Amino acid sequence: MKAVTRFYFDHNATTPLSPEVFQAMAPLMTDIFGNASSIHQFGQQARGELDRARRSVASMLGAKPEEIVFTSGGTEADNMAIFGAGGHVITTTAEHPAVLEAAAHLPDATFVPVDANGIVEPQAIAAAIRHDTKLISVMHVNNELGVIQPVREIARIAHQAGIMFHSDGVQAIGKIPVHVDELGVDLYSISAHKIYGPKGVGALYLRKGTDLRPLIYGGPHERKLRAGTENVAGAAGFGRAAEWVVEESAAEAARQSGLRDRLEQGILAQIPDAHINGAAATRVGNTSNIRFDGIDSEPLLIALDLKGFAVSSGSACSSGATEPSHVLAAIGLNREQARSSVRVSLGRSNTEEQVEALIEAVVQVVARLRKLAPAYV
């Protein structure tokens, strides 16, 4: 049997480790193995690498190195912000589960709805502010739709009220320019494995002077906010991935945007009753959430996988869930519409030829599935 050639179109779920990141990490897992808190030469070598990584991640965000707190990933960074604020939190109904579930476990939180494109109205956030509100958390880029939230305006609203502002920037870095001072964020969550770095390491930007309670207690690591021996190898990989973002991501993002536009044009031109969710909003250039009326996304995903194409039905953190995407429900899609949507997220490995092949495969599979769907006319 001929092997299937496989193409990866699920970069919002995770990205492959880049060769340059692997090369940066390898010595930290063999030769430079010391504990970064130790005062001997082994420890100080590790400390030097950790400091270098912190500077690189800070530079990517336009931040100071001392404002970067390394974590185990974006989820921990989000939880650190949500639980560390210590009071009433305002967020939206279209956030990543790392924010939604954390907020749901607070004594008090307000969830502000988004519009039909997944965008929250800043004045709706302002209207939800109370005397005891401590934090507003609105993601920068939605992981399922790719839409960009008006974080600058919301940050101004938060600061006018004397409230901390947090944004989940996991899906923003590497896709659009991010400068924390220009955004006005006090807290900003990021993750290495979305930018061709390793899994298991992320960071929380914490603006100098921002007061936050620790999520993990123990030693004085990471400004006394995240106890535990640091993952130096992971941080080094994150640092190298951050350097790639600074040096190369603008050109690569523009390339991917062209590929995404070609993908959407090809599908909409050849498949009737296909729709782009969130199309009327400003989006990052690598993400497309496409709805095909009359079919279920699960058999579509399976059929595409058999043809060698990896796409998804939404957040990887919700995989295995029987309920349709909460993001698609939040923008007003009914159950059937939400279950007929798939997400395509491009990355560095994708080419024009791969996109054309994916268009052809989607056209064939959707036509076949619609013939089998008695509800589709």
Task: Pick the closest to residue 342 from 235, 231, 267, 232 (CA basis).
Answer: 267
User: Checking phi first, is residue 218 left (phi over 0); if not, alpha (psi -120 to 50) or beta?
Assistant: left
Neighbour-count burial of 37, counting CB atoms closer than 10 A to its CB (0-12 exposed, 13-18 middle, 19+ buried) = middle
DSSP-derived 3-state class of residue 91: strand
Tell me the two tokens of residue 346: 């491009």
- Answer whether 186's CB lies under 8 Å from 30's CB: no
Whole-number Å distance between alpha carbons of 26 and 343: 33
Distance CA 351, CA 7 (A): 10
Check if the beta carbon of residue 290 is closer than 8 Å to that of residue 271: no
DSSP letters for 155-194: HHHHHHTT-EEEEE-TTTTTTS---HHHHT-SEEEEEGGG
| Beta carbons within 8 Å of 193's beta carbon, 6+ residues apart | 14, 15, 73, 199, 200, 201
Q: Among all residues, which ones are annotated catalytic?
A: 317
Classify residue 10 by its DSSP letter. B
- Cα 121 to Cα 191: distance, rounded to the nearest angstrom: 26
